[in-house]
Structure 1
Amino acid sequence: MKKIKDLLKKSEIRTDIPIEKSSYFTSRLLYVSPLLNSDGYYRMILPFLELGTVKGFETRVTSVTKWDFTKKFTIGRDTIKEEEIRWADYIIFPMLTEDYIFLFKAIKVINPEVSLVMDITRQIHTIPKAHVDHDIYSKYDQVQLIKNIAKMDIITTPFKELCKLYREWLTIYGQNHIEVFLLPSLISPIGFEGVSAIAKPQDDKVRIGMIGTIRAAKDFRYFLPLFKRIKETYKDKVELIIFGWDGKNPSGYESLKGIEITFHKSVSFLDYYQTLKNLHLDILLIPMRSLLYYTYANTIKFLEAAAIGVPVIALAHSSFSYEIDDKQNGLLAWKLPEWEEKLIALIEHPKYRKKLGQTAKKWVWNHRVYNEDTLVHFKNIFM
């Protein structure tokens, strides 16, 4: 994470803005205001750092700011310098739900040739009432996002289903001129720089982890019967771990009361990889209720676990189905009995568990990193 820490200090952000391109065939990409969270890191910070070393690309980033949930879908009004606008061939924005129409128009006046890009990482328009996200995004957020998108030249998204959805919507809204591209999220050794290994506890426990905040409480509660049966069957031979939450709702009530779970509170993104590795998970569950909404779920948890060799069980018939080849680089499950069957198989067969984790690790470092194959996505969009 050293390079990311340097970005926060702005020591990695170049202040010089060269006028002349290194080559006529070079594409200049300006990433605007990534936050130091998962979306900002995988969708903007890593591309800025990785593409900056690739022939044919020049990259800049306006700033990197620490995670603040109140600024989730906003950027500063004075974020972009006029010289940067003139420099760029593509200006890449995060998903924005505030009114930035004037900014987009001003950019086009300064540089009529620049292409405006918005990276959409989630679907906020048809969230089921049963899901906690339903009350987070107001009607204003939904409408303004569409208005902002209408001013773009290009939309990128990491999910095939989300890509398909926005193509359909843009056709309905008569915005067929806006191109929509699939741009997968990729991992990088950059995130693991300085991450040290600590000794695994000398015991025979199987550590079953889950990652999520209070927003995932309903999903966790849905799986309570499974968790209880696993603890009753295996007792101290297994440890259930939730990383990212203390198990309490805002009033202090313990939402998962009645079952022994080890809770680890969320940490700064700068410490995320180290903490994840220190947990020494043997299995990662990504428990989700069977909702259509999860067709658009972020799959990065699987990629992160695979990167350190932790086998994963995730929801079938969701976006994870595009990343996980069942029983090859991970496991997919639908109803609770299937989750239970596959979890028991991993608990009781350590060799199978290890093999699945190592296969996943090999797969992710071959197919979800910045290499000649995956760079084709960027070249198809920006060159």
Structure 2
Amino acid sequence: MKKIIHLKEKLASNSRFSTKYDLGEDDKIHLLYVSPKLNATGYYRLISQALELDKTNTHKSIITNIDSNDFNNSLNDLTTVLDERLLVWADYIIFPPIFSDITYLLKAIEAFNPMIQITFNIDQNYFALNAMSYDKRKISQIELHNLENNLACADLLLVANLKFKNFLHRYINLRHPNADVVTGFIPNLISQIGYESMPKIIKNDTELFRLGLIKPTLEDLNFIKELFKKMSKELKDKIQVVCLGSSTTYELIEKLDLQNDIEFHKTVHFKTFFFKLNQLRLDSAMLLAKDTTYNKHHSSYLFLELSAFGIPTITSIYHSASNNITDGVDGLLASIEPEWIKALDLLINVKGIKEEIGSMAIKNVWKNHSFSKKQIQNISQEIFF
């Protein structure tokens, strides 16, 4: 993460244009990444992708700037003025989802450089949120309409979920028959860049089994409360639930009268999130999800992060991460309450199984869900060509 923090500072400095951006002539494909935030979406969908592709002999990436994550407004607005020299240089210009109307800007970019491929990298199906809240605020219908119109002006839309890819292609083209938009798939991938200077994995040295809940919703907490009522006292007494969340999360915990049952930790900025996750010393974590379109189209960063630390997950069959898990090998899958209890009992009471699954989770995530030579080749040859 040090490399990213240093780059953020460099791009925010008053240095000369030529110091920030290398526009030297070459025969590479040029990728211009616009205003990613230093949060999970910005990191997985733009920043790490840009830095990894920039290492290749075929592609060169430039990031215009890296925005700080504003917890009071986690939706993206365009925060930078695009320099004409960057627009001339770029073959692809890649935006995060933008919820303000920038259709005029996109048309101007296209007129200025007709060869440029306007691209949006979309992390989740915002159109399936309905009245659900996203982080600390609601997404208004006007903002969704702006996003839709922006996407309809694009040449390429990139997503991290194949079901969402099919949905988005139909959604945009049915509503905008004159749009000429291609949808592509780039999975979320972990990068060594995010784990620079990371200390060794910290193991739990207490007698209790530390079970993680990361940023749970009210629905998640209600499920845990009911699950523990149906669990044997013998099993329940072996578990310490560890929750990482916001002040709003803690209010929900108090509302459900769970403050004495849950060890609460306040969430941290993304740049220190990996360190915090390691410090929680989790034995396992639960990835809960209901059977909804939004969950089916979601792309999970958390599964990758937990797996990188060898933390075996118990994952809902409705969670998008379930597609990446071989049940009983590199994780456990569950649906109804008895299956969740059985999975916990297995990890707690069967000697060696937690360590075995955790070890396989690490191998799986670095082999199949990282910026490997194969993954970079796929992105280079099938998406940005």
TM-score by length of 2: 0.90
| 2:6 alignment counterpart | 6
In the TM superposition, residue 42 of structure 1 has moved relative to its aligned partner by 0.7
- Aligned residue among 143, 146, 163 for 1:144: 146
| 2:366 alignment counterpart | 365
Q: Does structure 1 residue 206 correspond to structure 2 residue 206?
A: no
Change (3 A) 1:309 1:264: same
Q: Which amino acid aligns with 2:207?
A: D
| 1:120 alignment counterpart | 122
Q: Does structure 1 residue 22 correspond to structure 2 residue 23?
A: no
Change (3 A) 1:155 1:232: same
| 1:343 alignment counterpart | 344
In the TM superposition, residue 101 of structure 1 has moved relative to its aligned partner by 1.0
Change (3 A) 1:243 1:22: same
CA deviation string 1:162-217 (max 9, x = no partner): 1010112133122562110011011011111112237645332211111015xx12
Q: CA–CA distance in 1 between the matches of 2:293 and 2:234? A: 32
Q: CA–CA distance in 1 between the matches of 2:207 and 2:269? A: 30
Q: CA–CA distance in 2 between the matches of 1:253 and 1:260? A: 10
- Once the two structures are overlaid, the 10-residue window that deviates more, 52-61 or 120-129, is 120-129
Change (3 A) 1:7 1:20: closer
Q: Secondary structure of 2:118's partner?
A: strand
Q: Does structure 1 residue 179 correspond to structure 2 residue 182?
A: yes
In the TM superposition, residue 8 of structure 1 has moved relative to its aligned partner by 2.3
In the TM superposition, residue 244 of structure 1 has moved relative to its aligned partner by 2.1
Q: CA–CA distance in 1 between the matches of 2:257 and 2:166? A: 37
Q: Secondary structure of 1:262's partner?
A: strand
Q: Secondary structure of 1:63's partner?
A: coil
Any conservation in 2 of the 1:94–1:119 contact (CA below 8 Å)? yes
Any conservation in 2 of the 1:158–1:185 contact (CA below 8 Å)? yes
CA deviation string 1:128-179 (max 9, x = no partner): 55x5559822211221111000110000000111101011213312256211
Q: CA–CA distance in 2 between the matches of 1:191 and 1:313? A: 24
Q: Which amino acid aligns with 2:4?
A: I
| 2:355 alignment counterpart | 354
Give aligned-pair identity as a percent: 28
Q: CA–CA distance in 1 between the matches of 2:375 and 2:160? A: 13
| 1:257-272 equivalent positions in 2, closer than 5 A | 257=258, 260-272=261-273
| 1:107 alignment counterpart | 109
Q: CA–CA distance in 2 between the matches of 1:185 and 1:162? A: 14
Could you list the runs of 5+ residues in structure 2 that have no partner in the other structure?
none
- Aligned residue among 50, 57, 66 for 1:55: 57
- Aligned residue among 367, 370, 383 for 1:381: 383
CA deviation string 1:21-68 (max 9, x = no partner): 322xx2100111110100001111101211111110000001112111
Q: CA–CA distance in 2 between the matches of 1:74 and 1:329? A: 35
In the TM superposition, residue 262 of structure 1 has moved relative to its aligned partner by 0.2
Q: Does structure 1 residue 79 correspond to structure 2 residue 81?
A: yes
| 1:256-335 equivalent positions in 2, closer than 5 A | 256-257=257-258, 260-335=261-336
Any conservation in 2 of the 1:221–1:256 contact (CA below 8 Å)? no
| 2:196 alignment counterpart | 193
Any conservation in 1 of the 2:44–2:189 contact (CA below 8 Å)? yes
In the TM superposition, residue 232 of structure 1 has moved relative to its aligned partner by 3.0
Tell me which stretches of 4 or more aligned residues in structure 1 moved more than 6 Å. Answer: 11-14
Q: Secondary structure of 2:212's partner?
A: strand
Q: CA–CA distance in 2 between the matches of 1:49 and 1:21? A: 19
Q: Which amino acid aligns with 1:31?
A: Y
In the TM superposition, residue 367 of structure 1 has moved relative to its aligned partner by 1.0
Q: Which amino acid aligns with 2:39?
A: N
Q: Secondary structure of 1:249's partner?
A: helix
How many residues were matched structurally?
Answer: 377
In the TM superposition, residue 106 of structure 1 has moved relative to its aligned partner by 1.7
Any conservation in 1 of the 2:77–2:99 contact (CA below 8 Å)? no
Any conservation in 1 of the 2:11–2:64 contact (CA below 8 Å)? no
In the TM superposition, residue 236 of structure 1 has moved relative to its aligned partner by 4.7
Q: Does structure 1 residue 37 correspond to structure 2 residue 36?
A: no
Could you list the runs of 5+ residues in structure 1 that have no partner in the other structure?
none
Q: CA–CA distance in 2 between the matches of 1:138 and 1:168? A: 22
Change (3 A) 1:277 1:18: closer
- Aligned residue among 93, 96, 113 for 2:95: 93
CA-based RMSD of the aligned residues comes to: 2.4
